[in-house]
Amino acid sequence: MLVLGVESSCDETGVALYHSARGLLAHALHSQIAMHNDYGGVVPELASRDHIRRLLPLTRRILADSGCSLTELDGIAFTQGPGLAGALLVGAGMARALAYALDIPAVGVHHLEGHMLSPLISDTPPEFPFVALLVSGGHTQLMHVAGVGRYTLLGETLDDAAGEAFDKTAQLLGLGYPGGPALSKLAESGDAARFVLPRPMLNSDDFDFSFSGLKTAVLTLVKKVGLGASADIAAAFQAAAVDVLVGKSLAACRHSGARRLVVAGGVGANRRLRAQMSAEASRRGIEVFYPKLEFCTDNGAMIAYAGAQRLAHARPDLGFAIRPRWDLATLDAVD
């Protein structure tokens, strides 16, 4: 089965071709970072308009790169939610129209399911079951994954997502947009031990997260010592956030008995998180799987892969609905 994947949930336009037997054939991505940088964050209307400009040229590119034609497609997968409503409509409209014109099925994919399954695109995919840490700018969740669509929520953030806390802390340090990667780079030159910041809910009896208090602690520290210590503050913040993510994830593995852990989402590219998670998991006999770095942020490859799994069992659906808010745990299992 040859599937075209379309991702347009926020500020990145991604398309990809995935073949169920041959694997990922081609993918392309356009980031809107430069456009939104002038505004200090994503402007939804601008994001939607840019998706309109990019989707068809990117689709033509991956078809040329793969040597495939539209007539060879067996199905189309698109991000149905969660995300920005206008941006989702662009991808859904393009996917539905193309599927109708080609008389092939289309399926809406949950954005987080795409992230969670993205390590399965690699040459050494994890086997089910596993615990998944979904950690990005908008989401921080721990899920037990027994199979495609067989998801049990173990814990989630009660306020800010981890990536959101990275971005807001970067703003406090004057690092601009997008803040997370800039903060991580600055932290590499800082002394994480100079300042002690809280590890919210690290020792709670559940698997929930909270990062708003950590962000507030950084604000208090900046007011006290000034921006001259920005590198050390960045390092201290990153160390605190990573300690919480690692501690909660390994506790969830211990609780569920899982010997495999998936870390997915934009923050999953963080070097300190990867190094510390891998080291501490190894000591406990837990194997950790990450997407390739190019698939940590939003991309069409993860949507094409997840869509291929669902298209094999999908009922015909001509609906045009999008779901800006969508609970991952409500998805149907793929039998």
**Average per-residue pLDDT for the chain:** 95
Residue 335 maps to a domain: no
Say what the pLDDT of residue 321 is: 86
Residue 100 maps to a domain: yes
Residues 99 and 167 reside in one and the same domain: no
> CA-CA distance, 244 to 307, in Å (whole number)?
32
Nearest to 215, CA basis, from 250, 145, 273, 167:
167
CATH number of the domain residue 111 falls in: 3.30.420.40
Neighbours of 113 (CB within 10 A): 27
| Residues 93-109, mean pLDDT to the nearest whole number | 96
Residue 49 maps to a domain: yes
> CA-CA distance, 287 to 249, in Å (whole number)?
12
Helices (H), 210-229: 212-225
Q: Give me the number of domains the chain comprises.
A: 2
Residues of the domain holding 16: 2-116+295-330
pLDDT band, residue 178 (cuts 50/70/90)? confident
Q: CA 41, 266, 58, 5 torsion: positive or negative? A: negative
Residue 70 maps to a domain: yes
| Residues 136-149, mean pLDDT to the nearest whole number | 94
Residues 110 and 232 reside in one and the same domain: no
Residues 150 and 213 reside in one and the same domain: yes
pLDDT band, residue 322 (cuts 50/70/90)? very high
Per the document, the length of the chain is 335
Residues 47 and 195 reside in one and the same domain: no
Residues 28 and 98 reside in one and the same domain: yes
> CA-CA distance, 118 to 49, in Å (whole number)?
27
| Residues 137-144, mean pLDDT to the nearest whole number | 93
Say what the pLDDT of residue 176 is: 80
Task: Give bridge partners of residue 152 from the DSSP assignment.
Answer: 144
Residues 84 and 132 reside in one and the same domain: no
Strand, coil or helix: 301? helix
The predicted-structure confidence for 63-99, as pLDDT tens digits, reads as follows 999 999 999 999 999 999 999 999 999 999 999 999 9
Residues 202 and 312 reside in one and the same domain: no
The predicted-structure confidence for 266-302, as pLDDT tens digits, reads as follows 999 999 999 999 999 999 999 999 999 999 999 999 9
pLDDT higher than threshold 60 for residue 191: yes
pLDDT higher than threshold 60 for residue 316: no
**CA 60 and chain centroid, separation:** 25
Residue 69 maps to a domain: yes
Residue 122 maps to a domain: no
Residues 283 and 153 reside in one and the same domain: yes
pLDDT higher than threshold 60 for residue 216: yes
Residues 147 and 261 reside in one and the same domain: yes
Residue 103 maps to a domain: yes
Task: Give bridge partners of residue 157 from the DSSP assignment.
Answer: 209
Residues 179 and 105 reside in one and the same domain: no
Residue 55 maps to a domain: yes
> CA-CA distance, 186 to 189, in Å (whole number)?
6
As a whole number of Å, the CA-based R_g of the chain is: 20
Residues 260 and 134 reside in one and the same domain: yes
Task: Give bridge partners of residue 15 from the DSSP assignment.
Answer: 6, 28
Residues 174 and 265 reside in one and the same domain: yes
